[in-house]
Amino acid sequence: WAALLVLAAAVYEDQVGKFDWRQQYVGKLKFASLEFSPGSKKLVVATEKNVIAALNSRTGEILWRHVDKGTAEGAVDAMLLYGQDAITVSNGGRIMRSWETNIGGLNWEITLDSGSFQALGLVGLQDSVRYVAVLKKTTLALHHLSSGHLKWVEHLP
């Protein structure tokens, strides 16, 4: 008979929203970019807790988020936003990823050559960005924005 005893827990109507036990956070911001499409209200962020997320800029609601390793390997070193793509470099400049900003899906991920990461930039003409440039201490590499494939690499003196 003891198995038939069911316990129930609830809150009163006036307590709704006051006693929420499940809360989601993204952490302290390292990088943030506002999406520039008409009527957009999306903020794409990378945080010190190795989280990449999209937030509703009006309500603060988390639209999607990805939590990487909690170690230095998962740390985001740079982030750029272009159209519906968020490009991130992490793990000390060893991994570059492209995220689809509407749903948070991973477009592609590549492993970069080792070296001291310096900077990340978009390359193209006015409204036609086609490449991502990765500057390291001894190299400058150009990757296709659509696939991450290496177009060329130049060794620096």
Let me know if residue 46 belongs to a domain: yes
Q: Which domain holds residue 66?
A: 26-155
Give residue-wise pLDDT tens across range 29-84: 999 998 876 777 899 999 999 999 999 888 888 999 999 988 888 899 999 998 88
Q: Are 142 and 150 in contact (CB under 8 A)?
A: yes
In a domain, 14, yes or no: no
Reduced to 3 states (helix: H, G, I; strand: E, B; else coil), residue 102 is coil
What pLDDT does residue 53 have? 95
Residue 13 lies in a domain: no
Neighbours of 119 (CB within 10 A): 13
| Mean pLDDT value across residues 95-120 | 92
Q: Is the alpha carbon torsion for 64, 69, 71, 74 positive or negative?
A: negative
- Split into its structural domains, the chain has a count of 1
Asked if residue 143 belongs to a domain, the reply is yes
The reported pTM is 0.80
Residue 4 lies in a domain: no
Residue pair 43/34 in contact (Cβ under 8 Å)? The answer is: yes
- Is there a domain that residue 8 lies in? no
CA distance 25 to 31: 15
Does some domain include residue 68? yes
Distance CA 52, CA 131 (A): 22
Residue 2 has what pLDDT?
Answer: 53
* Spatial CA neighbour of 70 closest among 90, 49, 53, 52: 49
Query: Among 14-23, 81-90, 102-111, which stretch is predicted with the lowest mean pLDDT?
Result: 14-23
Q: Is the pLDDT of residue 18 over 70?
A: no
The residue-averaged pLDDT of 13-17 equals: 69
Gap between the Cα atoms of 25 and 79, Å rounded: 19
Structure tokens at 57: 């800029």
Residue 36 lies in a domain: yes
Q: What is the pLDDT of residue 6?
A: 58
How are beta strands 128-136 and 117-125 bridged, if at all?
A: antiparallel
CATH number at residue 118: 2.40.128.630
- Please identify which residue in the block is written with the tokens 């490009």: 87
- Average pLDDT over the chain, rounded to an integer: 86
